[in-house]
């Protein structure tokens, strides 16, 4: 098959979150089946610096103004790059400026992404046949299927929701700028509460909708930020399914991770993790105590991620249990950032906080921690708990979305042969404190902890498995 992915991020070229990790792995896994898989994304300034040499595919007037579609090979993957400097040649984050405000022209910046994806899918590249499947990701590429429909192009389309909370909402006056017909602006189309929704366009016009875990697919058909009615209909039609993300073993593999103090595999996890834990404690200035249970977190600091009630629970547990430590890498709400820094100041030898993001430090945290915390209020799939499983850093998660699908919680009494972490239900500090107590009870039994860690590291969440699921989906459409 000829498969074209349309997205706004691809790791390591451009990344703000898990979407980039998916696009940095799934297309490469799909290529191993012999399919011709390519990706189209904006030619941001940072990508221009990393991929300066390209071939011109097409020059065209577009909804975003004059643009050139370029082509380059990247790690064996075909990349289409939308070259429109007036839209994409900007420093920093791809969605907002230095003032943290969304760019005012995002409606055309990402309208153009959908338009160009549909154009390439329809045959704009004379050296590539028309694609079999156009696979668009999240609201930024949501208009791709709408353009295929408007142009009556017989290409099958798949739309993946990575986070339904972000819906790409814009004033209806912009419809003419997008070069879409007026009749598409209706309830049975891309209209949502008096605005244009790029995400709804993807949900309405795509042939199939996927999201990144089976449980999240069920959840959003019940409570989907206003989209639940449409999603419930799509599920009844067999057009909505959940497919778990995977782990890119070329990036996340404790046996070959150059960022770790000591690489290790499942057979040598005890020694390897002990060495990495010591290095991590040293990095954060924590007391170097092998018997302390070191909890780590790599996350945005937002209420969605449960950072607020995590803070409350940590304040209680750190006061109660001197053998508990915590290390954080993340950024987000200024109030939460400051609160975690204050926690570190109160417990300088037991709490370490790094505000910001550092990919190398993320690897060291997951390699050196004993427990990885993902207490999200909602979580479409989650990747850090998958990295935790791979590295033998037991996940402590709330039972929601992909967390529910990937972590089997220890019940507090069994031998741990089937458990891979710790799970709680209610999104509050009391429930999280109870989960901490369960984890601490397991930590006190080293034989039990070793069994839990071995079970965790035996899980298979590789991208080849995910790629097989998508292949079945594509084949059902064509």
Q: Is residue 257 part of a domain?
A: no
- Do 240 and 281 fall into the same domain? no
Q: Is residue 325 part of a domain?
A: yes
Please, which pLDDT band fits residue 46 given cuts at 50, 70 and 90?
A: very high
Mean pLDDT, the chain, as a whole number? 96
Share of the chain above pLDDT 70, in %: 100
* pLDDT reading at 44 higher than 90: yes
Residue 43 has φ and ψ, to the nearest 5°, of -90, 70
Q: Is residue 126 part of a domain?
A: yes
How far, in Å, CA of 18 to CA of 137, rounded?
12
DSSP-H helix ranges across 321-399: 334-346, 359-368, 384-391
- Do 197 and 282 fall into the same domain? no
Say how many C-beta atoms besides its own lie within 10 A of residue 207's C-beta: 19
Q: Is residue 256 part of a domain?
A: no
* pLDDT reading at 357 higher than 90: no
The number of folded domains in the chain is 2
* Preceding amide of 12 cis, omega within 30: yes
Q: Taking residues 52-74, what's their average pLDDT?
A: 96
Q: Taking residues 345-353, what's their average pLDDT?
A: 97
Residue 20's pLDDT is 94
* pLDDT reading at 364 higher than 90: yes
How far, in Å, CA of 198 to CA of 182, rounded?
15
3-state secondary structure of 60: strand
Pair 366, 345: CB distance under 8 Å: no
Residue 416's pLDDT is 85
Q: Taking residues 334-363, what's their average pLDDT?
A: 96
* pLDDT reading at 17 higher than 90: no
Work out the angle at residue 22's Cα, subtended by the Cα atoms of residues 21 and 28, and round it to the nearest 5 degrees.
105
- Do 216 and 312 fall into the same domain? no
CATH of the domain at 306: 3.40.50.2000
Please, which pLDDT band fits residue 288 given cuts at 50, 70 and 90?
A: very high
Condensed to tens digits (0 to 9), the pLDDT of residues 304-344 reads 999 999 999 999 999 999 999 999 999 999 999 999 999 99
3-state secondary structure of 31: helix
Name 39's Cβ contacts closer than 8 Å, sequence gap at least 6: 4, 5, 6, 7, 10, 23, 27, 77, 78, 79, 80
Q: Is residue 384 part of a domain?
A: yes
Q: Taking residues 26-51, what's their average pLDDT?
A: 96
370 is in which domain, residue-wise?
A: 266-457
Q: Is residue 412 part of a domain?
A: yes
> Mind giving me the DSSP string for 75-135?
TTEEEEEEE-HHHH--SS-SSB-TTSPBPTTHHHHHHHHHHHHHHHHTT-STTSPPPSEEE
Residue 92's pLDDT is 86
The packing angle between helices 384-391 and 446-457, to 10°, is 120
Share of the chain above pLDDT 90, in %: 95
- Do 94 and 192 fall into the same domain? yes
Residue 406's pLDDT is 97
How far, in Å, CA of 149 to CA of 154, rounded?
8
Please, which pLDDT band fits residue 473 given cuts at 50, 70 and 90?
A: very high
- Do 470 and 349 fall into the same domain? no
Pair 107, 170: CB distance under 8 Å: yes
Please, which pLDDT band fits residue 100 given cuts at 50, 70 and 90?
A: confident
* pLDDT reading at 234 higher than 90: yes
Residue 18's pLDDT is 86
How far, in Å, CA of 404 to CA of 41, rounded?
32
């Amino acid at each position: 098959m000829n498969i074209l992915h349309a997205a706004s991020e691809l790791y390591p070229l451009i990344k703000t979150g898990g979407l980039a990790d998916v696009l940095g792995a799934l297309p490469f896994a799909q290529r191993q089946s012999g399919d011709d898989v390519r990706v189209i994304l904006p030619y941001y300034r940072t990508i221009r610096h990393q991929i300066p040499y390209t071939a011109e595919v097409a020059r065209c007037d577009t909804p975003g103004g004059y643009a050139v579609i370029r082509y380059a090979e990247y790690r064996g993957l075909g990349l289409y790059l939308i070259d429109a400097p007036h839209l994409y040649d900007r420093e920093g984050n791809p969605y907002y400026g230095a003032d943290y405000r969304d760019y005012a022209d995002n409606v055309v910046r990402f309208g153009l992404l959908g338009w160009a994806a549909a154009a390439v899918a329809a045959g704009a590249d004379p050296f590539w046949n028309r694609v079999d499947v156009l696979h668009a990701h999240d609201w930024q590429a949501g208009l791709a299927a709408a353009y295929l429909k408007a142009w009556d192009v017989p290409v099958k389309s798949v739309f993946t929701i990575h986070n339904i909370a972000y819906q790409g909402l814009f004033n209806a006056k912009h419809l003419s700028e997008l070069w879409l017909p007026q009749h598409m602006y209706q309830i049975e189309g891309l209209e949502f509460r008096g605005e244009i929704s790029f995400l709804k366009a993807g949900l309405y016009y795509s042939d199939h909708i996927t999201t990144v875990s089976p449980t999240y697919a069920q959840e959003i058909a019940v409570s989907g930020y206003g989209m639940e009615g449409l999603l419930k209909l799509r599920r009844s039609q067999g057009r909505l399914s959940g497919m778990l993300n995977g782990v890119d073993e070329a990036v996340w593999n404790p046996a070959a991770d150059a960022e770790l103090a000591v690489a290790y595999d499942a057979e040598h996890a005890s020694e390897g993790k002990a060495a990495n834990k010591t290095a991590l404690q040293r990095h954060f200035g924590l007391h170097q105590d092998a018997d302390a249970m070191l909890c780590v977190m790599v996350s945005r600091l937002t209420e969605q991620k449960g950072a607020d009630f995590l803070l409350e629970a940590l304040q209680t547990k750190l006061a109660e249990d001197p053998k508990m430590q915590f290390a954080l890498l993340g950024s987000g709400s200024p109030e939460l950032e400051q609160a975690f820094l204050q926690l570190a100041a109160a417990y300088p030898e037991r709490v370490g906080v790094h505000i910001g993001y550092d990919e190398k430090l993320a690897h060291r945290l997951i390699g050196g921690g004993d427990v990885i915390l993902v207490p999200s209020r909602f979580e479409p799939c989650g990747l850090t708990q998958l990295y935790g499983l791979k590295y033998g850093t037991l996940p402590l998660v709330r039972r929601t979305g992909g967390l529910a699908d990937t972590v089997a919680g220890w019940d507090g009494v069994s031998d741990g042969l089937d458990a891979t972490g710790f799970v709680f239900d209610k999104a509050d500090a009391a429930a999280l404190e109870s989960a901490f107590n369960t984890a601490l009870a397991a930590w006190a039994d080293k034989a039990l902890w070793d069994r839990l860690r071995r079970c965790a590291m035996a899980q298979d969440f590789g991208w080849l498995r995910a790629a097989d699921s998508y292949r079945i989906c594509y084949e059902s459409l064509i």
